[in-house]
Structure 1
Amino acid sequence: MSKIKRPSFYIALGLLILFGVIGLLGQYGIGSEQMIANGMDLMMWIGLSLAMAVIMSYAGYVSFGHTVFIGIGSFAAAYIVAIRNYDAIIAAMNELRRQAIEAGLSPSSVSLPTSEVLKLFTVSSLLASVLAVLVAVIVGYAVLRLRGAFFAIATIGLNYVVMYIVLFILKNYIGSIEGQELGNPSMGLTNIDFYWMHYLVFIITVLVAYFVRVSRLGYGLAAIREDEDAAEVIGVDTFKYKVVAFTIAGWLASLWGVAREFRTSFSAQVDFSLLNSVVMLLENAIGGIGSFTGPIIGSFIYYPLKWYTQTIAGVFALVILGILIILVVSFTPRGVVGILRDRFPRLRKYLE
């Protein structure tokens, strides 16, 4: 069966159409700002969950340090926008405001031209990609010979090593500790502008995650997940496959770091919190390990649950969520996908 004609491809396509429609509604003033904000958040967590899936769900390797790649993307965006191009952006915005005043318009309504914003976003993404790939390859060669708990522990160490390297660079070469002294060059962008940035990264993430899953690489990773020793016996270059998967997963996560940094105004507060990795792991576990659709389903369950519990319970939301997640993982170790496969056999082809 062609990869394009597989049922799971239509799930990927439907997902892209759904968030595209939400963006169009926001573009034409239909719907609320909260809808657009929630749409961005949900896209980000689905995207990060799929990025984690490439190494976790597909290959069976749990990475607690995956948030480091989000931080790399965040740093890259802050460097390009808030350091390299800060003065140019400020000068361009001042000129646009001057022209608006002369034309009798509100200076607060101006924004940097779309072409300039796209250029900054593209350069930031390229830098993030290069840095993420370098880190992933170097670290992958160092830690992917480990398995199980040893690999998971090593990735926690990765998180702190890279975090302190970034902070050292900020302090000694850029003159800022954790981004405290970086400027915030407003470009006059709105939530819908940030939404389309997220959507662009979302398209890349969904398509890459899907095609990895149904490719030869995906089948090799599945063999590694089921029995790595047996996979080696039948000729799978397990180490090479794991490094490639780890690199793809890191690259995708770095793109989300860029998108989030544009939205959070270039503070360069590089977020290396292990909580991000834990959330990505939980979304995969809740949805179901070993599938493309599992991380998507897990994100659709986890994010609304988190949002509503925070709205209702405030600071106690994490306690409630923790209890619910323990119950879900304890009683449904195969995740929602596993339950659906068992109870509705006809759905199995959609849940690959």
Structure 2
Amino acid sequence: MSLLPQGWESGAAGGAPPSTVVGALAAHAPPSLIAPPAWRRIESFVSTLPAAFFWGIFECRLAPADERVDMLLCASRRHGGDGALGRALEGGAHRFGPITPFLQAWVEPDGPLADVPLIWIEHDLLAEGPSAPFVQFCVDPSYPVAHETPLEPSRLRALAARGAGLLLGEPANDGAMDRLAACAARLPEGGRIVHVGVIPHRGSRDLRVLAGVPTFAVQGWLAAIGWPGDQAIAADFLSLLGAHVPLASVQLDLGDAVRPTLALEFPLLTRPDRDPRWSAFIESLVARGLASPEKGRAALGWIGDATYDLPGAPWLTNVQRQLDIKLVLSADGTCEAKAYLCFHPRFVLL
């Protein structure tokens, strides 16, 4: 998820159903990234969702033969997502499976997760059906403005442990929580721990952590926390666009030790037709075998916006389309590039 979201003028609770927003995007969804079978799975999935989300992402792979598509949806207190999810939980029409105890705690105004401003719910949209939902939750109470000092490591640890415990259905891994506090304590100036989460349906109790780190300081921070991965590959990832992105999204997995898996995310905040750096970036991924030329071009073509008269929406709705590129170094040393096709609707008052 990008560390640099835009502002929104409307609340999620009054918005159009997710199915109508996603339906409007069909004309902009490049088939090289979202093949027709994957698009049908997306449409079927979003038809079951309440109008509680103010930001969504289609997660696509840029490798030539990989057609997997996952979906991430964000609910925010600032935009009424907690109230909308609370009503959905009370009504019982929407099923959230193993993450229900977490959601029930999050929607409580003064509950144990009151310091969590927003949450991301993700599903792997597999051919046999969507995976169990899993969650990443924000542990920076002032996000996205980030105008307040980050939580002290001990408070951060406590908040992460409460949320992870609810998602796991058992006490969180103490070793992972200790690593989280240690990583937070070693952040450079300007760095913040933004989101944490767990992925129990993949058989892991590790903590997944997303930090915002000044790009020039990423490698020093990785060394300081004892990251055991390949620094040369990390340096190569950073060299692709690091000088043009002042703040990098850095994703790590923490257990009793820092794991070697690493992901770096680059938000594309300017239009590719006006900024040749993005085409050069994609060409670099193609040269490294991480992306096909067709998928790379399709990802760049996603960026834009359009205004729609959506059924169920009280006003015209402008849907902005942004792109993040995520580079992943797996524990086995393999590398992967993903495109995050981001979209967020905003009401337009005329």
TM bucket normalised to smaller:
under 0.3
Structure possessing the higher radius of gyration over alpha carbons: 1
Structure richer in strand, relative to its length: 2
TM-score (norm 1): 0.26
Structure richer in helix, relative to its length: 1
TM-score (norm 2): 0.26
